[in-house]
Each structure stands twice: as structure tokens, then as C-alpha cells.
A and B are shown apart, each in its own frame.
Chain A
Amino acid sequence: MSAPSPTILNLPDQSTAQLPRRNFINAEHGLLSWLFTSDHKRIAILYLISITFFFFIGGAFAGLIRLELLTPQPDLVSSDTYNKFFTMHGIIMIFLFLVPSVPATLGNFLIPMMIGARDLAFPKINLLSWYLYVIGGTLTLTALVLGGVDTGWTFTAPLSTHYLNTHVITTASAIFVAGFSSILTGLNFIVTIHRMRCPGMTWFRMPLFVWAHYAASILMVLGTPVLAISLVLVLLERLVGIGVFDPTKGGDPLLFQHLFWFYSHPAVYIMILPGMGVISEVVSTFSRKRIFGYTAVAFSSVAIALFGFFVWEHHMFIMGVSNYSALIFSLLTMLVAVPSAIKIFNWCFTLQMGSITFETPMLYAFGFMGLFTIGGLTGVFLGSLGMDIQLTETYFIVAHFHFVMVGGMLMAFLAGVHFWWPKMTGRMYPESLSKLAAVVTFIGFILTFMPQFVLGYLGMPRRYHAYPPEYQVLNVLSTAGATILGIGYLMPMIYLAWSLKYGAIAGNNPWQATGLEWQTQSPPLTENFTEIPIMDHEAYDYDWLEHKTAQEVTHVA
């Protein structure tokens, strides 16, 4: 027998392999069949295209920001323009990219398949979700084209209500609409997971990807409406000028902070939980092992969602809140950090006794685990009251959230896109190029954001257009890293597009993974399954998979 290959990739014989004759992509033809689809998989692809579009716009703004910050002087653009750069970067990246990224693309595509259903509970509402997202995105672009908005993504009142005359109303309306896209997606997921599991699919047989999305959906459904009302109040304030947030008229600026952060903190868990779900699937598949501590990971997801609702004031520790309330929220913040730590260790120990291969998704997963650990632990810095005084509102915060969102979430998104690319498209991407991109991204990321931790403690404030000259070296390092990072993100765009036409035919289950989605053709049928499966084994059951594969082999003979 030849030496075992260092990869588990198992492609069909390329000389005879073909894409399945009938699949969800060729089931109907024409643009309208896509724009009026109710197929969750087509909607997922629509989302994938739109969020990629917005990702690159947001990324362009990031590039401009880092370009300006190469020099201490405000010499590239005017201050107002710079303020618009970071505002648009934040709004687009958070609301139009990160929040929908995994749930609306991978979640939409995979959740019904993973639980053995034919579609989500409400397919037309799913399509409505996408249209609301597009409307929100279009309104944001409209605001951009009309001149942009410079409130910062946090819309802090009274700055946003009384002291700016940029396109706050358009942008706030845009996010209001996009928020409903998120709410409907979450609602759809919750009902689907509760009601549409196939026979035998108990809660604890579901893949952890589904658990993660369930937890994120709870946050989407309960948290996003509060963002909506915060934006409505800002809108009304701008239109009528009452003084709800204006102290000279009896209002309270801190009221806005409470309402806004009540959503925006759970929002970060909405963003990260689906990514953690991806990591569970990837780590399991490429170690050929059931996730260590399945139950712990499942409950940790829900715990993060629950605790996540009770920590919002940690964004306001120095804003004049009572010292005693600060105490409570700091304690709760420490508690919410624990489930994430539990998950990291469970993933690490999944590797033990496994049979590990290092395909691209696994590389991204490793990157996630390392970078999210740093990002998460720096969150503990910020949750510690006294430490927060020095670090808040500086580049330390910027570094912290980019570590968890980009080093964490975006890496997880890329891991997921690569992992399920063969399932969604029927084609494989080029492995060596993708590995290179993963490494480039990792290096670029560290170079971009590590210096920012140092800048933060030194005291460099965030959202600064100009800075004292002694901070320049670190800023230059950061910009250099950003360039490398940009290359790392462009590469997948190119080779993934290339693979659609020239990639190897993937077959049903190129990774030899256990989920139900891998037991069907790639790309899947519109109806997902020829017959609704009956789940008679646990999740991540590699013995079952081996037995099944062996059976197929004997059958064919």
C-alpha cells in the first residue's frame, strides 16, 4: 500500500467526473428565477454576492484610513472626509458584512440540509430578508454618494442628533431596514430548528454549527429591535428636535448609550457565534473526530447568547455611570468570557487523538483559534474596570475588536467558504494557492493589528485623523500589514471565481465529512434530498461514515 496521503481530500476520478445533471443552480434559468427564488440555497448565493460587494467597499475605506495614517499630519484628506471614512468603514463592515456574513450565506445554505429539511420554515420571508438587506445597502450607498455620514458607526447622541449636518437620516434609515433583514433571518432559523428537524434529529444530534446559529438567532431576534428603536429616536430627534438626548431640554445623552449598546453588544456575539459554529465543523472534519465536549460547546453557545445580553454597560464605564453599576457589569463581563474559553479548549482537545490534515479550512481554523484567543483575552483587559480607564477609546479597543472580528470572525468565514465551496458549487478551489492566501492573510493581520495594541496603551486615541509624531513608526507598520492583508483577501476572490469554471469536480463528499449535507450531491438538488433522511446516529459519527462508505463500496460491486 502506498504511503497515506497527507490530505483527506477524496475527489472523484476527474477524467469521468461531471457535475450532477440536475442541481439547484441549473434547475431554473434566468435572472428572474434567481431574484424571485424561494430556494434557501439560491438566497444564500445572492447574499454571498452582495456581502462580498460590500466587503470590498468597506475594505476600500479601511485602505484609505490606513493610507492617511501613514503620516502624523492630516495631509491626505480633510478631517470631515476622514471622519466619513471610518464611519462608513464601520457601518458597512458591521451591518452589511459581519452581521449577515456566516448566517445569511452559510447558515441559509446549510441549516436546512444539516437538519434534514427541504428548506427553511419561511422561504419567502427568507427572500424578503435579502431584499431588505439590499435596500439597506442601497440606502447606505445613497448616503455615501450624497456625501457620506460622519457620526461614527455608533451614532452617538447628541453629536448625531444636533451637531452634524451630514446624511444621518438616510444612513440611520438604511441600518433600520438592514436590521429587519437580520431579525427575519434569525426568526426563520429559530422556527426551522425547532420545527423542521428530520425524524431522529434530536437537539443533541444536531451539528454544532446549528447550535451556534440558534444562539445567534436568539440574539438577532431579541436584540436588533432595540437598535431599531434607538435609530428611530435619533431620526425623530433630528426631525423634530425634542431633546430626548439633549440635557438642556431635560433629556439624557446616556439614554441613547444604553439603548444603543443594549443591541450593539449582543451584536458582537451575533457576529462571532456563527463563526464559532464553522470552526466546530472544520476542526472536527480535519481531525476525523467528534468535537471534544459536544454538550459543553453546545451549552456554551447558548450561555454566550444569554450572558451577552447583560454586559452592555461595559462600553460606558467612563461615561459617568454609577460606580456600583459598573461593578456589576464588569463582573458579568468576566462571566461571559468563560464560555468562549471553554470552546477554545474543547477545539484544542478535539485535535488530541485525532488524525489531522492541514487543508485550507483547517489553516483558517487554526488562525481563528490563535487570534480569537488574543482578541478574547484583550477583552478581559477591557472588562477590568481600572484597566479600561487607560485603554478605552484608544487604539487598544480598535485592535481588540479587529482581532476578534477579523482575526476571528473573518477567518472563520473564509474557513467556511472554503470548506463548503465544493458543496455549494460542485467545484474545488486550488489548494496550494488557497493555503498561500491563508498564510498571507495571517501574517498581514498580525502586522496590521499587533502594533495597535501598543499604540493604545501609549494613549493614541481612536478615530484620530492626525497624531503625535512619535506614534508614526507603529502606524507605518500597521499600514504595511494592511496592504499585505488586502492582498490576502483579494486572492480568494480571484481563485474562487476561477474555480467556478476550471476547478476540479468535487463529488458528494470531498472532505469525507459526516454532516447530512455531505451525503447528497454537490451542488445539491433544489429539494435537498430525494427522500427526507432519518437520523439514526450521533453528530460527527465517523464510525457511521466509515461503515456507510464501506457499504457503498460493497453495493457498487
Chain B
Amino acid sequence: MGISPVLWQFLVKWLNASALFPREASTIAPYMDSLYFFLISITLVGVFLVATLIVTFSIRYRKAVHPVATQVEGSTLLEATWTIIPLGLFLICFVWGALLYFRIYTPPANSSNIYIVGKQWMWKAEHPGGQHEINALHVPIGQPIQLTMISQDVFHSFSIPEFRIKREAIPGRYSTVWFEATTPGQYHLFCTQYCGTNHSQMIGTVTAMTPADYKKWTEQSTSGMSLAQNGERIFASMGCNACHTGNAAARGPNLAGVFGSRLRLSNGSDVLVNEAYLRDAILNPSQHVTSGYTPIMPTYQGQISEDGLIDLVEYLKNLNSNERVQQTLTTSQSDQSAPQASGVVKP
């Protein structure tokens, strides 16, 4: 950032101690803070300049010492100066801010994903390993974490000020943000988009832990079923396995390994199969028909909660083979004749 790290640490620590400045607890925080200080400097300079002009001119040209005004039309040079310099400074802010924005909203490839569902008036955090938290989020330090968020009802906004991240949880579509925590501790979690009566009660605690502590926590807090396992259960109980058997002649396309691939749709377009696509395809199947198949998939709008959808998405993300699909087919109610499969069926 251009100033010595020692000086920087001192500055931030001093500000923090005075309770006027939030702690820096993520890797992106120093970047955010340096832009903030730059903007404050510009503001201070601007205000100081304007105040100085007003005060000095007021004193120098007050009526008592300057009784007759001299009419001045203007000065193109001055106009150009105070057009170009502010514009230049603002453009620097634009570029710097844009870079920071893209950084915060572009998760690195190695981030681990945690799902966040916002609803009136609580935050649900769902770890892939099956840990469910309400109004809390446990994360390891030193590991990029991507949050895939959605709202069940109205707009909410997930904010961790000390990590310097915030993004809206939108009804109807996923939004993502990422961070990497640097210091173990407890940090505020707020909902910052007004969402009704208990908007100010929709707060919680983010706990950053060392990787060892985090591992211990995940083992102690799991519900027993990972998200993907729950998704597999839903996949069978909702009858998805009846069409998406993985056979060549099946009524629905093969879903093993589909996540992350490019798919050609029946309307000719190509799509990347990501979380958003999967969710949309379950809710609005007729607009996401894979090429070569007919639009016979029913919609599950209103039948599966956002949590259920997340479970299904996690399941499909990790689905590599159809073996278990076919196994569950034999055990679930289905009037489609199922392929004969040997082997023990695991719950």
C-alpha cells in the first residue's frame, strides 16, 4: 500500500483502540482501509481548501477593508483547473474502487463454499459437511471462504464489517461474496437491508478459528448428514431418480458430473452449469431443457425450500457416478421398472 507496514499497523491499532475504527480481520480489510484513507484525505484536502478560501477571502475582502468590489467575469484557466483536478482524483477513486470491487466479488478458485440462507429474521449458515448454524458462522482462518447466499423472502444483506464484506441476499437467485479471515476472534454479523419488524435483531456472530480448532468444531457440530447426503435423500424422495437414472434411454439427462460442464439446451444456447443454473432448472425446468430431451420435467416451485434446494445443489455438485442413484431407485417407490442392481443399499 505504499506506507510502511509498521506505520500501518500502528495507525490501525491506534484507531481501533479508540473504538472509532473497526478491526481488520480479513485479507481484504487493509485494501479497503487504504482506499478509505485515500478518500478521507481527498475530503480533508477539499474541505480544507474550501474553508481556507472562504475564510481568507472573507477576511481579506470584508467590506471594512475592501469597500468596493472589483467585477471579475471568470477565468477559463481556473475553470479548467477545478474541473480537471477533481475529475482526475475522482477517476482514481473509480479505478481503485473498481479493482477492489472485482476483488471482493470474484472468489478465488480454491475457496470452500458455505451456503447462507436469509429469512425474516435470521441467518442460516449451512456448511457442506452438514453443520447448520443460526445467526452464527464458524470459519477457519487462512482459508478463502465463499458464501453462496439467497433469501427466502425479502431482500436481506449479509454484512461482516470487520471483514469488510457485504452483499445482498436476494430472493430468487444466488449471490456470492468471499473472504479470508486472518485473526481468530468473534466479529459482528449484521443484516443491513431493512427487512421488516426484526431487522435489527437479525444479527449474529462470526467466529474465526485456527484450522485445528475449526476441524474440532466441524466434527462436534455436524448433524450427521452432510448437505449432499440430505440432497441425495431429497433426490430420491421427490422422485428425481425416476427420470434422471443415468441410463442412456432415461427420460431425463444424466446428472453425474454435469456440474461445471457446458450444456447445450434445446433452444440452441450453451450454458455453464453452476449453482444458479441447477437451482433455476429445478424451479423452471421448461426453460432449461437439455438438447435432445422433451420438456416434461415438472416444476418444484413451492415444493422445496431454499434449504432443500441447497442440499440438492450440493448433492449434484458432488455427484460423480449414478451407481447410488440406481440403487436408491430400487428402494424408493417408483412405477418405472428399475434396472436390476446388486449390492447392499446404504441409507
Contacts and interface: CB of A to CB of B under 8 A. Distances in A.
Direct contact between A and B in the complex (CB less than 8 angstroms)? yes
Interface of A: 3-8, 74, 79-80, 83, 150, 152, 156, 158-159, 163-164, 246-248, 250, 252-254, 287-290, 292-296, 317-320, 323, 326-327, 330-331, 334-335, 337-338, 341-342, 344-346, 348-349, 351-358, 366, 369-370, 373-374, 377-378, 380-381, 383-390, 392-394, 454, 457-459, 461-468, 470, 473, 542-543
A470 to B, nearest CB: 6
B165 interface: yes
Given A288-B69, A341-B86, A384-B35, A293 B98 contact: no
B42 interface: yes
A389 B39 contact: no
A146 B68 CA distance: 60
A458 B161 contact: yes
Interface residues of B, number: 88
A386 B86 contact: no
Given A159-B195, A318-B157, A385-B101, 13 more contacts: A8-B63, A74-B200, A150-B197, A158-B153, A163-B120, A292-B73, A338-B87, A351-B54, A357-B63, A380-B90, A389-B164, A390-B166, A393-B159
B201 A466 contact: yes
A337 B100 CA distance: 21
B62 to A, nearest CB: 5
Contacts of A289: 69-72
Q: Which 10 A-B pairs have the closest CB atoms?
A: A386-B100, A247-B172, A459-B161, A384-B97, A385-B101, A351-B57, A393-B192, A293-B74, A334-B90, A288-B69
Interface in B22-69: 22, 31-32, 35-36, 39, 42-43, 46-47, 50-51, 53-54, 57-58, 61-64, 66-69
Nearest to A151: B194
A465 B35 contact: no
A6 B59 CA distance: 12
B191 A356 contact: no
Given A248-B302, A351-B57, A457 B192 contact: no
A318 B100 contact: no
Contact of B63 (A79, A342, A355, A458): A355
B196 interface: yes
Interface stretch (B102-110, B211-219, B261-269, B325-333): B102-110
A295 B32 CA distance: 39
Interface of B: 19-22, 31-32, 35-36, 39, 42-43, 46-47, 50-51, 53-54, 57-58, 61-64, 66-75, 78-79, 82-83, 86-87, 90-91, 93-94, 96-105, 120, 153-155, 157, 159, 161-162, 164-168, 170-173, 175, 188, 190-201, 203, 284, 301-302
Given A248-B172, A293-B79, A380-B39, A385 B71 contact: no
Nearest to B284: A250
A190 to B, nearest CB: 27
A274 to B, nearest CB: 21
A473 B20 CA distance: 10
Nearest to A377: B43
Contacts of A248: 171-172, 301-302
A380 B46 CA distance: 12
Contact of B155 (A156, A317, A344): A156
Q: Find the residue from B159, B167, B173 having the highest chain A CB count within 10 A.
A: B159
A482 to B, nearest CB: 19
A382 to B, nearest CB: 10
Contacts of B197: 79-80, 83, 150
B47 A377 contact: yes
Contacts of A390: 32, 36, 161, 164, 166
A75 to B, nearest CB: 13
A457 B21 contact: yes
B188 A253 contact: no
A150 B100 CA distance: 35
Nearest to B101: A385
9 contacts: A79-B198, A250-B284, A320-B173, A331-B94, A344-B50, A351-B54, A369-B54, A384-B96, A461-B159
B79 A320 contact: no
Contacts of A335: 87, 90
B216 to A, nearest CB: 28
Contact of A386 (B82, B96, B188): B96
Contacts of A331: 94
B51 to A, nearest CB: 6
Contacts of A389: 32, 100-101, 104, 164-167
A356 B194 contact: no
Given A159-B195, A287-B69, A468-B188, A356 B104 contact: no
Contacts of A250: 284
Q: Find the residue from A79, A289, A386, A465 having the highest chain B CB count within 10 A.
A: A386
Contact of A158 (B86, B171, B284): B171
Contacts of A380: 39, 42, 90, 93
Contacts of A355: 61-63, 66-69
Contacts of B46: 341, 373, 377
B101 A326 contact: yes
A331 B75 CA distance: 28
Nearest to A317: B101
Given A353-B61, A373-B50, A318 B97 contact: no
Contacts of A393: 157, 159, 166, 192-193
Nearest to B162: A459
A461 B64 contact: no
Contacts of B196: 83, 150, 159, 163-164
Contacts of B161: 390, 394, 457-459
